[in-house]
Amino acid sequence: MMSLRVFLIIALAIGTCHGHKMTNEVVPEVSQMVHKMAFSQMDSTAFIASMTKSGNTEADCRSFAIETKTDITSSVASMQATLDAVDTGSGCAAEGQIGVTSAQTALATAQATLVTAQADVVTAQAAKTTACTADVAIPTMGLNEMETLLGTCTLIQGFIQDDAVYIAVKAGCATATATLTAAQADVASATSGVTAAQAALAAAIAEAARLMNECFCRVSNEQAAAWKAATGASSTHVTAWKKAHEIICALDAATTCTVPTCPAVTQPTLAATGMWHVLPSTTLSITPSTGMGPRINHSSPLPVTLTLNLGANIWIVGLVDSSHLKMVKIEITGVSSYNWLETRYSTTYTTACTAQTTFVESCFSGTAPTTNYDLATSCGPGCWIPHPVDLAAGVTDAVCGIQITGMSSFSGTDCMVRDMTTAQHTSGSGDDGGVVFMGGPAGSPDAGHIMYEGDLNLVGFPGDLSRQFDRSTPTGSGLGSIFSELKANKVYRITSGGGGGLRSPGNTVNPGNTVTHLQCLANGASSSLQLPAGLTEVALPAGLQMSSEKYNIFAGYGTAAFKDNNNHWQLIELNDCESTPTVTDLGIDTGSNLGNMQNCERSRQNGILEQGAEGYSVLYAGPSNSGNFYRKSLPSGNSAIAFSFGTTYHSDTCSITMDLSTSRYFWHSEGTSSLFEPIYECPLSFTGSVESAVASQQLPRNAAV
């Protein structure tokens, strides 16, 4: 914290050089004000003369300057210690790695089991071939007995089938066949085991990514807050440090004054991501600079089909090119950087080494090329790029949430609008409730749809608005307090009182109501309405109550927030209703209220929750006659216009929703641009990498209705 002395030397401009006054002297307030201004406006010599004239000694001024330097040095040391105590994320890379290591071990075991099982099949097949093609020696007999047997096939068949040698050979064949069948079953089981182990490893990697990202996000936010506090507190040090040295120089009558560098805090270095994962988009090519010709697919990159994580960021990547198995061992060091370690190619590889499920470290064998045949990797457009497992190129890119950087005004080129006729509106959705939200996550029936809440039905439009709504689910006026989060477009609903269905008016949250439960619509919006199995519900922590000022819900990246009846902002960690969600009190709101947030017709308006290094903020539609979108920092910021579009396409807009996977935002308007009840969509831009919720729409967009 900035010391009082430093604060005085700048903000108050020390009217009395450390406050010492001559005995029995009373300095008038007007003189104090003059001295304060003198420090900031006069050079050191003039300032000393002014202070001396006011009754202070040169010793007083020297003492004050020395103590000012000491205070600055002590303050910086204290702030540096505070900064150094903040987590730098050194442990983030280890998050989830026990699970990843365990899953990798399990996969290696499963792959080894499969290799053994496949070898057993080869052995069993050879044994069967031997057993089932073995010679059967017919016993010797007299000619007369032979001629008797030849007189009838039945006698011959009985003679052979009853022969002990034949019976033994046939039994051996049957046993070998059964052994082969069992070995083949073991291969099938081992293959399933490898598939399951690969899925478990993928899940472990995804969980590690989530845990690391959360850790890096927390560290990034904590560091940013600490750095902001430290730099804010020390912002006046340089001026005060320089002034203090100049005063001493003037007192010493020095001809030159050398001012040492002012002590300053050093920003801690954050830890780097410690684990990376090679994605299927990786390709392998010959390094162009070698000039060695068509070493990979006649100089055309090929996609990597074989990857093996050896740990510590060491990977083997490979592919089959014509009759050659070609592999490179690398150490991944960054988002597009690596150290080349070794190369191998082989024409005598086993079939197992060409399949991802059985690609093991022993496959990395064969010829090690000389410098004249250096199979290498190259990074750049069209070449392979290793990607980090945590979706971030480092701490600064950790996905701590989403910040909207741009929302486009409507244009016929980049945007789309779909209007409902009077008949469609009346019999389709019913009069609007004004709420729009995304239909559900990837794989759900409503994925990629924009949902529109009416008095009669919940209707869904294709995400590109290329046609009218193609789904309609009766809801009545009971449906409300529903929203979709930004991370994967999952649909949630807060309720007042548990146990009620989605169509129950009694559990819809209104201004001032208690907020007791969270409902999760796993199958998307309309499907979960129709399928009770798609709806789950968990209780929220006790004591939550919606603001009586205005119903509000803001959807974030796996989170949601609302302002409660105690004027505090509450943050909900959305967790698919797997357990009681964590709810965090972000603090009391001493800034502007939500009075400029446009009301929906049933007073259940929504908006967007953003998160960045500076914390959380909300983005919402302003009054109907403004065409403005406002942003307010949480918990205590004042709202300010973030985007202003006029009222041509924004009238009675009370909610917005976004599909980050397609970089589009959606809103409903009323009676704009000579339309009746239009739904609009336009491009948006944002910071933060995101999970793909649905496939990006590639259909052309235009203003056709």
DSSP string, 73-91: HHHHHHHHHHHHTS--STT
The amino acid that residue 330 corresponds to is I
- Please report where in the chains the tokens 């709810």 appear, as a residue: 583
Q: What are the pLDDT digits (tens) for 134-144?
A: 887 777 777 77
- Please report where in the chains the tokens 């500076």 appear, as a residue: 614
Helix (H), strand (E) at residue 158:
helix 153-161
Using alpha carbons, list the distances in angstroms from residue 474 to 172, 462, 521, 556, 594: 69, 18, 16, 27, 31
Q: What are the pLDDT digits (tens) for 237-293?
A: 888 898 889 888 888 888 888 999 999 999 888 776 555 555 444 556 554 443 333
In the predicted model, what is the mean pLDDT of residues 352-356? Answer: 89
Q: Is pLDDT larger for residue 101 or for residue 150?
A: 101
- Entry field: residues in the chain: 705
- Collect all residues with Cβ–Cβ distance below 8 Å to 414 and sequence separation of at least 6: 408, 682, 683, 701
| Distance of alpha carbon 515 from alpha carbon 504, whole angstroms | 15
Which pLDDT score is estimated for 229? 81
359: Cα within 13 Å, side-chain hemisphere: 22
| Distance of alpha carbon 477 from alpha carbon 326, whole angstroms | 64
| Distance of alpha carbon 242 from alpha carbon 256, whole angstroms | 14
In the predicted model, what is the mean pLDDT of residues 635-656? Answer: 88
Q: What are the pLDDT digits (tens) for 61-78?
A: 888 789 889 999 999 999
Contact at 8 Å (CB) between 387 and 273? no
Q: What are the pLDDT digits (tens) for 407-452?
A: 888 887 788 888 877 777 777 776 666 788 888 888 788 888 888 8
- Say how many C-beta atoms besides its own lie within 10 A of residue 553's C-beta: 26
| Distance of alpha carbon 228 from alpha carbon 492, whole angstroms | 35
Which pLDDT score is estimated for 109? 92
- CA 440 centroid distance within chain: 18
| Distance of alpha carbon 680 from alpha carbon 665, whole angstroms | 8
| Distance of alpha carbon 17 from alpha carbon 139, whole angstroms | 128
The amino acid that residue 357 corresponds to is T
Residue 307, token pair as written in the block: 């990857």
Q: β-pairing, 324-334 with 314-321? A: antiparallel
| Distance of alpha carbon 437 from alpha carbon 440, whole angstroms | 9
Residue 236, token pair as written in the block: 């006046």
The amino acid that residue 480 corresponds to is G
What percent of the chain has pLDDT above 70? 73
Residue 186, token pair as written in the block: 């073991």
| Distance of alpha carbon 302 from alpha carbon 297, whole angstroms | 7
Helix (H), strand (E) at residue 626:
none
- DSSP class of residue 528 equals H
Structure pTM? 0.53
Q: What are the pLDDT digits (tens) for 544-569?
A: 999 999 999 999 988 999 999 999 99
Which pLDDT score is estimated for 201? 84
Residue 439, token pair as written in the block: 């239909």
Q: How high is the mean pLDDT of the chain?
A: 76
Which pLDDT score is estimated for 563? 96
Q: What are the pLDDT digits (tens) for 73-97?
A: 999 999 999 999 999 887 877 788 7
